[in-house]
């Protein structure tokens, strides 16, 4: 498994310094972009995300919790190592969004709310690099893990079969439940509070990695 620290739980006043601290053990930086419509919270957008690049080397995993991914995805400067993940429940047509993100030259992820049946994602599995299974209702860090996510990950893993699609999980992950999601098939583990709410972030990441074994 690999970790994607969610900087939503970091101090927004010193984002780059916070990101640098977790970079040694991060596969991606997980960056939550919220528009106040798709979810009842507002975070950061393209100008902040793009300027965060300087001095960071690990790729970005941009989690778009916004109604109109078609409009905003092109405003992020992306490389082939980065990923943009959008929500199936956004107001844009998913096949078009996938095409648009591909056009930007980065990897494509698709996500779904806990309430959306996992099978709703199946028609897109041939076209995406990653599926992000939400284990909380999107919008805020620090919420409790929804255990139903484990079975959803198992079903998804089975449906993916031998396709080259990675499963990621996001929401409420800690050292008590990380093993469950990893055993179910999740490979890229997003964690916000479980990393940034600790004074020693690297130690917290080591704790998560050890708990996943």
162 catalytic? Reply is no
Which candidate, 28, 15, 10, 16, places its Cα nearest to that of 189?
28
| Residue 191 binding result from Zn ion, ligand DX5, none, given CB thresholds of 5 to 8 Å by partner type | ligand DX5
Catalytic residue among 35, 61, 82, 170: 170
Instruction: Compute the distance between CA of residue 165 and CA of residue 184 in angstroms, rounded to an integer.
Output: 15
Q: Is 5 in the site for ligand DX5 (CB under 6 A)?
A: no
Closest distance to ligand DX5 from the beta carbon of 194 (Å):
6
Phi, psi at 104, each rounded to 5°: -80, -10
Instruction: Compute the distance between CA of residue 205 and CA of residue 29 in angstroms, rounded to an integer.
Output: 13
92 catalytic? Reply is no
Q: Is 45 in the site for ligand DX5 (CB under 6 A)?
A: no
Helix segments in the chain, DSSP class H: 15-22, 46-51, 69-72, 94-103, 148-160, 178-184, 193-196, 201-212
The HSE-up count of residue 38 (CA atoms within 13 Å, CB side) is: 25
Interface region with Zn ion, contact rule CB under 5 A, candidates 62-70, 142-150, 155-163, 193-201:
62-70
Q: Which residues pair with 5 in a beta bridge?
A: 191
Q: Which of 59, 94, 109, 139 binds ligand DX5 (CB under 6 A)?
A: 139
- Would you say 21 or 170 has its CB closer to Zn ion? 170
# residues contacting Zn ion (CB under 5 A):
3
Q: Which of 26, 190, 204, 208 binds ligand DX5 (CB under 6 A)?
A: 190
Interface region with ligand DX5, contact rule CB under 6 A, candidates 66-74, 90-98, 158-166, 192-200:
192-200
Instruction: Give CA 22 to chain center in angstroms.
Output: 16
List of residues 6+ apart from 75 with CB closer than 8 A: 45, 46
Closest distance to ligand DX5 from the beta carbon of 173 (Å):
5
Q: Is 32 in the site for Zn ion (CB under 5 A)?
A: yes
Q: Is 177 in the site for ligand DX5 (CB under 6 A)?
A: no
Instruction: Compute the distance between CA of residue 169 and CA of residue 177 in angstroms, rounded to an integer.
Output: 11
Residues acting as catalytic residues: 32, 170
Which positions lie near Zn ion, rule CB under 5 A?
32, 63, 170
Residue ranges that bind ligand DX5, judged by CB under 6 A: 6, 8-9, 30, 32, 63, 136, 138-143, 170-173, 190-194
């Amino acid at each position: 498994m690999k970790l994607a620290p969610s900087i939503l739980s970091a101090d927004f006043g010193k984002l780059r310094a916070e990101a640098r601290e977790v970079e040694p053990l991060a596969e991606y930086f997980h960056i939550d972009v919220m528009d106040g419509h798709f979810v009842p919270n507002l975070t950061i957008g393209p100008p902040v995300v793009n300027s965060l690049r300087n001095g960071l080397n690990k790729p970005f995993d941009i989690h778009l919790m916004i109604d109109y991914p078609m409009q905003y995805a092109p405003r992020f400067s992306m490389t082939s190592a980065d990923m943009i993940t959008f929500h199936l429940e956004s107001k844009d047509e998913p096949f078009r969004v996938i095409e648009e993100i591909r056009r930007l030259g980065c990897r494509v992820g698709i996500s779904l709310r806990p309430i959306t049946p996992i099978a709703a994602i199946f028609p897109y599995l041939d076209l995406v690099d990653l599926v992000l299974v939400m284990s909380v209702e999107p919008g805020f860090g620090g919420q409790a893990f929804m255990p139903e996510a484990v079975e959803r990950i198992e079903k998804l893993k089975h449906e993916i079969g031998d396709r080259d699609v990675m499963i990621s999980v996001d929401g409420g992950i800690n050292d008590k439940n990380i093993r469950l999601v990893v055993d179910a098939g999740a490979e890229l583990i997003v964690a916000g509070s479980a990393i940034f709410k600790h004074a020693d972030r690297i130690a917290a990441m080591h704790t998560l990695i050890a708990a996943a074994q």
